[in-house]
Structure 1
Amino acid sequence: MGVRTGFRKELRVFEVHKWGEYIRKSWENSFAGHLSKEEKNAIYLESFLWHLCSWKAVPCSTKEEAVRLFHAKQKDKCLIFYQYVDTVYLVESGRGLDVKDLPYDPFHMFYGDIYVMDWDKKWTFIMTHEGECGPYFIDS
């Protein structure tokens, strides 16, 4: 685990390698745990976790409302991860974490879908590689 550069200094971000698969599964269990395996297959959840929102399988906020809710949330400790990358960023002291701070590139094959999840798995914010889909915010 190393300190991640590129984030604002006051955000205390740690880069953790090889956590991606575990964190994605944890996210799925927390936010899509109410779905059966068949329901998950029907919305192609294995392809993109954000299909949970685009297929309306969970109540969520979208677009500007999702961004507003993300900014309003307390973000003392949260995780930032991607759909297809095994590096996870652990953010401590993330009170001022803003959408502009997220290491997000919608045109990059691997960094195009980004997820932010609070440490207690009570909310998540998602930005996708598809302009018409998202951002999304789920608050449990």
Structure 2
Amino acid sequence: MIKDKIIEILEKLPDEELENVYWAVKHIEKKYLFNWNLFGKGVKITNQFEESEKIVALWDATFAGHISEEIKNEINYNQFKWHIFSYKKQACLTEHAARSAFNTTNKNEVYVMNQNSPYITLLRNANEIIAEDFDNEQDVYIFDSSFTWTYVQTHESMCGPYFSRLNKKNSVSSI
């Protein structure tokens, strides 16, 4: 049984390594519970490995394409893309207004992008997801497959969440 194998490994590790194991297991548990919640809402989850770079580039072009490289450097855009909202370089709703906008927006098919991950997740049949589903996530960007809006949950309690909807003239074609 797999639990017995894990226990066997744990018994061999020195105490100072057990904290690392604990946090790794907590991370796995968090991801499992997050996905379980989505599954309970009928959401179909697909990881997008091959198209991730293209999707990230389209998000950048759509929501930050009008911002110069100089300004991006000044606001540390490469560290946190959501700085375009916190530094007021892209129009957006914040806090409760952002959550409300996200909760009432059509979310049949959305992408989920994490700031520090090279992979994108596609959520289908996602209309039941709400802002509160992402409250324990950090630096996560949710956006529709047509790149007409984005919702961002940051790691900082005093920043965000943010919701931005583009008008038709600013949109970029989707994948």
2:51 maps to 1:8: no
| TM-score normalised according to structure 2 size | 0.68
Q: Aligned equivalents of 2:46 and 2:71: distance in 1?
A: 35
Q: Aligned equivalents of 1:130 and 1:18: distance in 2?
A: 30
Counterpart of 1:126 in structure 2 is 152
Q: Secondary structure at the match of 2:65?
A: coil
| TM-score normalised according to structure 1 size | 0.84
Counterpart of 1:109 in structure 2 is none
Q: Aligned equivalents of 1:95 and 1:18: distance in 2?
A: 25
Counterpart of 1:47 in structure 2 is 79
Q: After superposition, what is the alpha-carbon deviation per residue over 1:37-78, rounded to whole angstroms, capped at 9, x for unaligned? A: 112112111110000000000110000000000001001111
Gaps of 5+ in 2: 1-33, 167-175
2:89 maps to 1:63: no
More helix by share: 2
Counterpart of 1:138 in structure 2 is 164
More relative contact order, 1 or 2 (CA 8 Å, 6+ apart): 1
Q: Report if aligned partners of 2:135, 2:153 keep a CA contact under 8 Å in 1.
A: no
Q: Report if aligned partners of 2:59, 2:147 keep a CA contact under 8 Å in 1.
A: yes
Identity of aligned residues (%): 29
Gaps of 5+ in 1: 106-111
Change (3 A) 1:43 1:5: closer
Q: After superposition, what is the alpha-carbon deviation per residue over 1:73-119, rounded to whole angstroms, capped at 9, x for unaligned? A: 001111011000123210111111112333843xxxxxx21100110
Mean CA deviation greater in 66-75 or 87-96: 87-96
> Could you tell me which of 123, 140, 154 is aligned with 1:114?
140
Q: Report if aligned partners of 1:62, 1:136 keep a CA contact under 8 Å in 2.
A: yes
Q: Secondary structure at the match of 2:112?
A: strand
Q: Secondary structure at the match of 1:8?
A: helix
* Number of residue pairs matched by the alignment: 131
Q: Aligned equivalents of 1:99 and 1:15: distance in 2?
A: 21
